[in-house]
Amino acid sequence: MPANAKYLSSPGQRVLKITAGILGGLLITILFHNAIGILLNDKSGLIATTAYTSFILWAILLAIPFLIKNGWKTWGLYLLLILLFASIIFLNK
């Protein structure tokens, strides 16, 4: 039985969601962990915990675009987070 067409997104929206999940999620994950590394004074356990939390965060950020109906809104949200973490890194260097 095929899926109901009203629940399927257009091919353009599908591409936006996939790229937001993969590329945007990866950039947010990297910048988030770099921002935490800059803000912490004691960096002894940072690499060990980053190895685990980066995969978990990226997997969550990969799934979020498919919960949002519009791919442009997802990219907007992800770009906002990228700019936020990049500004934290830039201002604290």
Q: Where are the domains of the chain?
A: 13-37+45-91
The pLDDT of residue 1 = 65
Residue in the structure block whose two tokens are 């997997």: 59
pTM: 0.89
- Please list the pLDDT of the chain residue by residue as tens digits (93 residues): 677 877 778 889 999 999 999 999 999 999 999 999 999 888 888 888 898 999 999 999 999 999 999 999 999 999 999 999 999 999 997
User: Nearest CA to 38 among 50, 27, 55, 20?
Assistant: 50
The pLDDT of residue 9 = 81
